[in-house]
Structure 1
Amino acid sequence: MRINGSNQPNFNPYKNIVKKQAEVKREINKQDQIEISKEAKQLQESERPNEKRAEYVQSIKNLVQSGEYKVDSEKVAKK
């Protein structure tokens, strides 16, 4: 009867530990990357306020803050 002990040439108990450490080092060296699709870029462009609209809103804000803004009750009633 022949018994093969732990002195086999293929047997290395630390092999798995070394592999895991190498994998962890590879993961640490990875850099985050982001890729934005064309559709997402178009959505970002559409979310930007229109310059004319922004000026109009700012003028109304200024009138409200100064107390000069008047509400047309007839227009409100029609809507």
Structure 2
Amino acid sequence: MKINPFRPVDNNPYKRQVSKTEQPQAPGKTDKVEISAEAKEMQQTPSIVKEREARIADLKNQVQSGNYKIDHKAVAKSIAKFFEL
């Protein structure tokens, strides 16, 4: 039985894969995000902003004074609802 000496193989699939990823992507393709008019209106509604600021200020005061109470059952329910399949 004759054993030939080791020769490098030119057919390496990993080299082909690397050469494919190095190709530049087609120019001109960009991502685009459009926000609807309703969403823009909701962001600019002053009543919602004022309500949110008042709620945040109230929560900050409760936390600083030590009166903030956590409803453990509600937290557990929301966690369970989040992980439902």
TM-score over 0.5 (shorter chain)? no
When normalised by structure 1's length, the TM-score is: 0.39
Higher relative contact order (CA 8 A, sep 6+): 1
Query: Greater Rg, structure 1 or structure 2?
Result: 1
When normalised by structure 2's length, the TM-score is: 0.37
